[in-house]
Amino acid sequence: MNVGTPDEIIVAPQTLQDRLVKELRLRGIDTREAANAYAPRFIADYNTRFGKAPRSAFNAHRPLRADENLDTILTWREPRRVTRSLTLRYDRVIYLLDDTEATRRLVGRYIDVYEYPDGRIEIRADGIALPCTPYDRLSEIDQGAVVDHKRLGHVLQVAQLIQADRDNRRASGSPSRTNQGQAPKLKERKAGTRKQREISVEDLNTAIGRTTASLQDPVLKTSSKR
């Protein structure tokens, strides 16, 4: 167990966290000041019972170099393959790389998607960030847009109804984003929702009918004959 000050205890996962909390509870300690006062006694007892001498006394810690960035080093990374259309997919978002000679050489290669703790997404190849344009497959219509666009209001309302019935969960393998204020991920889809590819023309016709009281016949047909 490494200790700086009583406020800077680096705990051993699944052992010290649980043990320390119980010790504090048993002693009726419920303030930070009281916990700091008890910490040296707890540390000494814990190290006596569980501490082990290191194999080597060499201190391998070193200062951070000027060319090192902890945000980049500690970020979440996922490899993705660049398609012939210069796109790649991550967490139900399509990223279109700028069409340049350098990006065309990346076709067929796996490059890295960096997701930072603050939610920023970067596409990198050989450590270099690439300019790109995201297209979110789970984007949603803002209610203000429906009000502002008089001519497109009906179309936007139809899109809203379709989106309400869509399974809006992100990919299960992506990191949690509760630190950004987002709700925890749902393991199961909400009742009555479907994946985007499961939405049919009949669903579009139903949404159109719900937004147009005077609509009598389906506007879209599943098949047409010429």
pLDDT of residue 19: 80
pLDDT of residue 216: 45
pLDDT tens sequence across 38-97: 999 988 988 888 888 888 989 989 999 998 888 888 888 999 999 999 999 888 788 999
- 148 and 206 both lie in a single domain: yes
Low-confidence ranges of the chain (pLDDT < 70): 1-17, 137-177, 179-180, 182-201, 203-226
pLDDT of residue 46: 86
User: Number of folded domains in the chain?
Assistant: 3
Answer yes or no: is 58 within a domain. no
- Inter-residue long-range contacts of 42-49, CB under 8 Å, 24+ positions, other chains counted: 43/1, 43/3, 43/9, 46/1, 46/16, 46/19, 47/1
Answer yes or no: is 63 within a domain. no
How high does pLDDT run on average in the chain?
75
- 30 and 83 both lie in a single domain: no
- 120 and 157 both lie in a single domain: no
Note down the domain range covering 203.
139-170+192-220
Answer yes or no: is 124 within a domain. yes
Answer yes or no: is 62 within a domain. no
Answer yes or no: is 121 within a domain. yes
Answer yes or no: is 59 within a domain. no
